[in-house]
Amino acid sequence: MKKTLLLLILIVGVFAAVACDAATTLSTTDTETTSSATTTDTTTDTTTTISTLDPDSLEANIPAECADVPIVSGWVPTWCEEFNYEGPVDSTKWRHQTGGGGFGNNELQYYTNRAENAYVDGEKLIITALREDYGGHDYTSAKIWTQGLKNWKYGKFEMRAKLPGVAGTWPAFWMMPRLSVYGGWPASGEIDIMEHTAFYNIDNVVGSLHTNAYNHKIGTQISYGRETPGLTTGFHVYSVTWNEYSFTWWVDSYKYGTYVFNPAAVAYGDFSIADAWPFDQEFYLILNLAMGGAMGGTVDPQFVIDTYEIDYVRVYQRDYVTEDSGAPRAATALEAAQAVGTTAYVFWTKAVDDNQVRRYNVYVNGVFFKSVSLNIVKLTGLVVGTPALIEIEAEDYAGNLSPKAAISVTTTEPS
């Protein structure tokens, strides 16, 4: 009996052990499958967040204030004022210019830093012109700028705004030089991205340049206009793109003006390179609403109040360094002009690069002379009657160099 009972216990134990092994195996298999699935999901998520951006690229260093601003056609946002706060303008971005006196244009307003004239309402900046006696003037308004805080050389400068519509108002979005290295206005340049005058044409937007050679005081300013209905009843986007040798103006998505520096006009003209093109220096941004004056025209006698509403101001730049893939081609069509005495001009057709030519290195008889951003140079120190070998070497923003292009220049005695 005992033997039979012992045999039954042994048989039951064997079945129990097999059952436990089977259960353990199933449990282990389920756990491994779940773990494997979890690991796969985690690996997939991690892979999608790996960045391949060059850490030195503009795109990898977009400031937080521009995080929601898209990159369009290679233009990377590098400075953004979205006016998404309330109160006075951000003092880390803007400063007020205050005072009056006409500003050289017979303007009628007195600029203040009061909330009555400039206030951010949480969505936009509102610059308000008022009819009031203040500081010996009949009107008040506001003017802000980035002078002393931020300056730029080249880029895309953009604003979205609704313009005032009462006759006599003169809103502007423009730039002036950080330093007047070529002299006082207009010698060091002025860049008008947007100007508008309801008195002369309420549906027209204007973009202009002012230099010693080209300015409104002598009637030679470089200006472009675009008829755009609704400038004073809705928001529109105004911008300019600026590089080493050209400007292009836009309203919304319409390109309405392009000016390209003309080296031949200088080489065969009566003015200097800087007189024609002082735009190789840093400039700062300005927003203001003037009253009356040379462009504002006659103020409506019933004027009481009007506003210039700015949704945002943004600055974009292109990454010409990390995206560069090759050296520039050589400059072509070298030509000499006004080769008299110890000086001469040499100009050429711009070199072609996959991104952008930064400058041209100029050599005289094998010795480095200077670097220039435009496709023209004025040579000095030449010897009358002695040929000089002039070589031009294009350099891009990544430091790649083109083959040198050469021309022989011999000056004559002054007449």
Which pLDDT belongs to residue 364?
98
**Contact in structure between 151 and 285 (CB atoms under 8 Å):** no
d(CA 77, CA 93): 15
Q: Which residues contact 334 (CB under 8 A, 6 or more apart)?
A: 346, 347, 348, 390, 392, 405, 406, 407
Q: Give how far the C-alpha of residue 342 lies from the chain's centroid of Cα atoms, to the nearest Å.
A: 39
pLDDT at 45 exceeding the cut of 70 = no
Q: What is the pLDDT of residues 129-151, one digit of tens each?
A: 999 999 999 999 999 999 999 99
Taking residues 375-403, report their average pLDDT: 97
CB atoms within 10 A of CB 50: 6
d(CA 118, CA 143): 8
**Minimum mean pLDDT among 3-7, 44-48, 209-213, 349-353: which range?**
3-7
Beta strand 201-210 with 222-227 is antiparallel
> Would you list the DSSP string of 270-321?
SS-HHHH---SS-EEEEEEEEEBHHHH-SPPTT--EEEEEEEEEEEEE---S
**Contact in structure between 412 and 385 (CB atoms under 8 Å):** yes
Which pLDDT belongs to residue 86?
97
The token duo for 69 is 């601003």
pLDDT at 11 exceeding the cut of 80 = no
pLDDT at 7 exceeding the cut of 60 = no
Which pLDDT belongs to residue 54?
86
Q: Give how far the C-alpha of residue 17 lies from the chain's centroid of Cα atoms, to the nearest Å.
A: 78
Active-site residue identified among 107, 158, 195, 391: 195
CA torsion 33-38-41-42 (nearest 10°) is -140
d(CA 340, CA 25): 99
Determine what percent of the chain is predicted with pLDDT higher than 90.
84
Band the pLDDT of 12: cuts 50, 70, 90: very low
Which pLDDT belongs to residue 3?
38
**Contact in structure between 310 and 287 (CB atoms under 8 Å):** yes
CA torsion 43-44-46-52 (nearest 10°) is 120
Q: Is 72 helix (H, G, I), strand (E, B) or coil?
A: strand
Which pLDDT belongs to residue 414?
93
pLDDT at 122 exceeding the cut of 50 = yes
Instruction: Point out which residues pair with 259 in neighbouring strands.
Output: 247
The token duo for 43 is 């690996």
Buried b (16+ CB within 10 A) or exposed e, 244-266: bbebbbbbeeeebbebebebeeb
d(CA 185, CA 179): 11
Which pLDDT belongs to residue 56?
85
Which pLDDT belongs to residue 9?
36
Q: What global pTM score does this model have?
A: 0.86
- What average pLDDT is seen over the chain? 89
Residue listed under structure tokens 């951000």: 90
Taking residues 33-45, report their average pLDDT: 38
**Is 190 part of the annotated catalytic residue set?**
yes
Q: 297 versus 24: which is more confidently predicted? A: 297
Taking residues 281-309, report their average pLDDT: 97
Which pLDDT belongs to residue 363?
98
Band the pLDDT of 51: cuts 50, 70, 90: low
Which pLDDT belongs to residue 338?
97
pLDDT at 399 exceeding the cut of 60 = yes
The token duo for 41 is 């999901």
CA torsion 23-25-29-31 (nearest 10°) is 60
The token duo for 119 is 């206030």
**Is 123 part of the annotated catalytic residue set?**
no
Edge-first strand order for the sheet with 332-340 is 332-340, 343-349, 376-379
Active-site residue identified among 81, 107, 158, 190: 190
Taking residues 189-211, report their average pLDDT: 97
Band the pLDDT of 42: cuts 50, 70, 90: very low
Ramachandran sector of residue 93 (left: φ over 0; alpha: ψ -120 to 50; beta: rest): alpha
Q: What is the pLDDT of residues 312-342, one digit of tens each?
A: 999 999 999 987 889 999 999 999 999 999 9
Which pLDDT belongs to residue 53?
82
Beta strand 201-210 with 190-197 is antiparallel
Which pLDDT belongs to residue 50?
58
Band the pLDDT of 69: cuts 50, 70, 90: very high
> In degrees rounded to 5, what are phi and psi of residue 11?
-65, -45
d(CA 177, CA 102): 20
